[in-house]
Structure 1
Amino acid sequence: MKEEIFDRYIQAGAAAKKILTAGADRIKPDVPLLEVGTFVEDMIIEQGFQIAFPANISLNEAAAHDTPRPDDTRTFTQGDMVKLDIGVHLDGYIADTACTVDLGDQPLLREASIVARDAAISAVKPGVAIGSLGTIVAQEIKSRGFLPVANLTGHGLDHYCLHKGPNVPNIPGTGGAILEEDMVVAIEPFATTGTGFVHDGKREEIFGQVVNRPVRLPAARKILKEIEERNGLPFARRHLHVKSVDLGLARLVHDGILRSYPVLCDVSGSYVSQAEHTMIVTDDGCIITTA
């Protein structure tokens, strides 16, 4: 990996760590979700970086992809299990990191995802098969009485690319892709009190561009203009400053130009925890950029 690219990953990771900690400290009962999401994203910009994806703030059975609406009135409540997942990039080189804030009394569930993440990271080095990391994650989570979320994975990262191979499973496996030096990988175990599978919820606030082609609807054209600088990275409805934004988004999704990211949920009444770090694979292990 070129030194200047390595440096950008390291800088983005250090910023992400600082911003995640500051954002998590603001998660308290009665605080609006929108306030925390705005704080995190404003801090990314103020620190001289860019937003790799909207601040994900997912509650309880929601595992991922929730972010506040522009008019969101939700506040955190005593008992909530809150996942804060943020992405920071510098010139397209991304740091992806997440933590869980327990506003209730479930320390073991929160611990399960953290220990699983750290155990998997300790096994990272060139030549390791991805499937073995999933086995480690699942063992740590199950040993604490919970289930790993089977249909969510960690992932590779690349320039302006948030998700690429290899996918890092959270369930036991053998074989799969082999880790190589200079790979950039995010490991993110999810532990749940539910079924171990997530499904699409009703909320859709995050979108990403799939293709670029002409559209006739004025609101749709304005949205595409506003997101040009995203270079394909995801954005939120609240990031747009376009009249008839809902109509424009609906048209772009219908035409296959944008894809939506529905909130991913386990069964109602369950709780999910998450922990995530980004790392660069080295010749004898890895460097965690977000630690």
Structure 2
Amino acid sequence: MSDEKKSEGTEVLTEGVVTKYMSAAQIANNVLKEVIAKVQPGVTAGELATFGDDRLLELSSKAFKKDKETEKGIAMPTCISVNNIVCHFSPLRSETDITIADGDVVKIDLGAHIDGYIASVAHTVVVGASPTNKVTGAKANVVLAAHYALEATLRQLFPHKGLKNTDLTGNITRICKVFETTPIENMLSHQIGQFDLGAGKEIIQNPTDEQAGKIEKVGFEENEVYIIDLLISTGTGKAKAGDYRTTVYKKAENLVYQLKMKNARTFFSEAQKKYGGMPFSIRGFENEVQAKVGVVECERHGLLQPYPVYYEKEGEIVAQFKTTALITSTGILKITGVPLDLSLFESTHTLDKPTQTLINESLKLKKKKLAEKKDEGKKAEVETKA
């Protein structure tokens, strides 16, 4: 995947661009549904991750077959993070795995891309939840908080509302407080572009005092695309790297180094060819020993950016929901995600009326607002001609 293909600034969401986003989203959503169906007691996180990646590759290989130059594939390897594990758990076949048990809270995170147009998604499942075995207590609270925080955030992306990224941060915090939960510190939602997982603007869900001063206050504009990623905890929200090996990496941008070890050169070449600049898991390499050895030198010299496995304290629960959203001329287009069955969750906490009203808003612009936009466009056109 060439660096020249990376986008610069915001692209116009033309019909062709939206079609590629939607194609990638269909793949991601279908694989997510298939993985969810396999989340049962006795299956391992590694088995789920392998299945998810295999399906992402299989389905993406069938898309845009006539255009042989179109790059496509995994945009985020399948990660299966259980209970207090926050994110990025995709264990190697030869190392410690986790067997899913009844009552576990399982986060599924994955993504696909078509021609560098990325569709990323995450969903949380409580194993064994059913109409006769509803989720209650802290587990229900953390899942509902993450779900509602995501839905509220989406509806604050409308440019006409004039909100800043910091306004969204405050709203996430308020919703989490209602459910006696805490957003994981310093986790970011990103504006994205073609072949670009960090195109500029960021939304931070729970900044430390140090981090808060580094985030530029920005608004939202038409033709922007965001991955909105909410990770919420029953604990303090202070996640740390743990004992499990980091297996998810991404090629660093514009960095060149002549690797010394043959294993490292072979591994890095294969990673570039197979994944380009997209995140990948070394569990996907056939020669695991070579990958484990090769990645060490690549990371040491900054050629690969690690995605560490983060944890909350033992006994705490973390929930995650992630979607990819396009800000279009007709509203917010939420292209990834599957519905959460709210009937399976019971909480003693309820949202206040303003928040309930917000999350019930349509993601499509109302006719009146569309008419106002059209009038503004005509006025600007006349002023330009004058």
TM-score, structure 1 length as denominator? 0.93
Q: Counterpart of 2:305 in 1: which secondary structure?
A: strand
1:117 to 145, 150, 154: 150
Residue 6 of structure 1: aligned partner? 18
Residue 264 of structure 2: aligned partner? 220
Residue type at the aligned position of 1:51: I
Question: Does 2:229 correspond to 1:206?
Answer: no
TM-score, structure 2 length as denominator? 0.71
Question: Does 2:115 correspond to 1:94?
Answer: no
Residue type at the aligned position of 1:113: A
Residue type at the aligned position of 2:144: E
The answer to whether the 8 A contact 1:84-1:98 is kept is: yes
Quote the offset at 1:272 in angstroms: 0.4
The answer to whether the 8 A contact 1:16-1:97 is kept is: yes
Structure 1 residue runs without a partner (length 5+): none
1:240 to 285, 290, 294: 285
Question: Does 2:318 correspond to 1:272?
Answer: yes
Distance 1:157 1:68 in 2: 27
Distance 2:46 2:297 in 1: 26
- Which runs of structure 1 show a deviation greater than 6 angstroms over 4 or more consecutive aligned residues? 172-175
Q: Flag the 1:248–1:65 CA change in 2: closer, same or farther, 3 A.
A: same
Residue 332 of structure 2: aligned partner? 286
- In terms of fraction of residues, the more strand-rich structure is 1
Distance 2:25 2:149 in 1: 20
Q: Counterpart of 1:185 in 2: which secondary structure?
A: strand
Distance 2:50 2:302 in 1: 29
Match runs of 1:161-180 below 5 Å: 161-171=196-206, 176-180=217-221
Distance 1:165 1:59 in 2: 30
Query: Which stretch has the larger CA shift, 230-239 or 68-77?
Result: 68-77
Distance 2:264 2:163 in 1: 45
Quote the offset at 1:175 in angstroms: 7.5
Residue 304 of structure 2: aligned partner? 258
Match runs of 1:55-74 below 5 Å: 55-72=78-95, 73-74=97-98
Q: Counterpart of 2:201 in 1: which secondary structure?
A: strand
Q: Flag the 1:227–1:17 CA change in 2: closer, same or farther, 3 A.
A: same
- In terms of fraction of residues, the more helix-rich structure is 2
Q: Counterpart of 2:94 in 1: which secondary structure?
A: coil
Residue type at the aligned position of 1:148: P
Residue 52 of structure 1: aligned partner? 75
What is the root-mean-square deviation in Å for CA atoms of aligned residues? 2.0
Q: Counterpart of 2:222 in 1: which secondary structure?
A: coil
CA shift digits 1:258-282 (9 cap, x unpaired): 2222101122221100111110112
Question: Does 2:230 correspond to 1:189?
Answer: yes
Quote the offset at 1:212 in angstroms: 3.4
Residue type at the aligned position of 1:86: L
Residue 359 of structure 2: aligned partner? none
Residue 166 of structure 2: aligned partner? 131
Q: Counterpart of 1:251 in 2: which secondary structure?
A: helix
Q: Counterpart of 1:227 in 2: which secondary structure?
A: helix
- How many residue pairs match? The answer is 291
Q: Counterpart of 1:189 in 2: which secondary structure?
A: strand
Distance 2:98 2:198 in 1: 29
Structure 2 residue runs without a partner (length 5+): 1-11, 62-72, 129-134, 338-386
Distance 2:38 2:256 in 1: 38
Residue 31 of structure 1: aligned partner? 43
Q: Counterpart of 2:223 in 1: which secondary structure?
A: coil
2:102 to 70, 78, 82: 78
Quote the offset at 1:244 in angstroms: 3.2
Quote the offset at 1:108 in angstroms: 2.5
Q: Flag the 1:175–1:261 CA change in 2: closer, same or farther, 3 A.
A: closer
Question: Does 2:276 correspond to 1:231?
Answer: yes
Q: Counterpart of 2:197 in 1: which secondary structure?
A: strand
CA shift digits 1:207-230 (9 cap, x unpaired): 122133321210001011101232
Residue type at the aligned position of 2:174: Q
